[in-house]
Amino acid sequence: MGKHLAVATPRAVRPVPTDRSGARVRSRLHFSPSAPALYAAVFAVVLGVLMVNAIDPSSGAAASPMYSINEATRALNSQSLMSDESVSSAHERDGFQTIARLAPAAGIPDPGSAKAIAYVLVAKKGWSGSEYDCLVSLWDKESHWNVNSHNSSSGAHGIPQALPGSKMASVGADWATNPRTQIIWGLGYVQGRYGTPCKAWAHSEDAGWY
């Protein structure tokens, strides 16, 4: 019998996709994530945002003047409920006793104002809301909270009327024009000399100065 040679039948070759210019077009892979993987990714993003806010609540949109004032309001209110020593406490000054007293309610200041800076700083010191009221009355009397207030005869300067004004350089070189620098120095002066703003206010009412 004669041998029969098997002839291989050529396979059909798929045409290579090309664009209009004849260039070969690369195939694109389409990836569709499964539902569980998609949910896990979304959960991870949300969890990350929550953790950032929990660790640093002052970051992002929360870092606004109103946020700081709201926080200070809660602190001042809680401190006022815990203890309001400003009515009955006394302080010896220049040979006579000064009884701390309350001042008219000052209310919540406008965000961005000098009083708003003081409002937050008073809360950070652990003083009550009535202490802020006394501070407002004290510096209303001294300078009307004008950062550029200057007494040409005495040399007293700024919101707390530091005498001389250059004393405030211990807080910052911008002491002549920066309300925050002036307020930080003024609060330190009040605390160091009188203990609290209400004691300083009482002395100012009795003696005409503080």
Residues 99-108 have pLDDT tens digits of 667 899 999 9
pLDDT at 209 over 60: yes
85 domain residue, yes or no: yes
Structural domains in the chain (count): 1
Give strand pairing partners of 24.
Answer: 18
Q: What are 1-26's pLDDT values in tens digits?
A: 544 444 445 555 555 555 555 555 45
Looking at residue 67, what is its pLDDT?
A: 63
Does some domain include residue 8?
Answer: no
**Does a structural domain hold residue 14?**
no
Look at residue 87 and tell me if it is in a domain: yes
R_g of the chain computed on alpha carbons: 35
> Can you give the residue range of the structural domain that contains 203?
47-207
- Domain assignment of residue 23, yes or no: no
Residue 33 resides in a domain: no
* Helix ranges restricted to H, the chain: 35-55, 65-82, 114-124, 129-143, 179-193, 197-207
pLDDT value for 78: 75
Q: Distance between CA atoms of 27 and 15, rounded to whole angstroms? A: 13
Q: Report yes or no on 76 lying in a domain.
A: yes
pLDDT value at 109 more than 60:
yes
pLDDT in tens, 27-72: 444 444 455 555 555 555 555 544 434 333 333 333 456 668 888 8
For residues 193-198, average pLDDT? 96
Q: Considering the domain boundaries, does residue 20 fall inside one?
A: no
Residues in contact with 29: Cβ distance below 8 Å, sequence separation at least 6, in sequence order: none
Q: How many residues does the chain have?
A: 210
- pLDDT tens readout for residues 130-186: 999 999 999 999 999 999 999 999 999 999 999 999 999 999 999 999 999 999 999
pLDDT of 177: 96
Least confident among 71-80, 82-91, 158-167, 185-194: 82-91
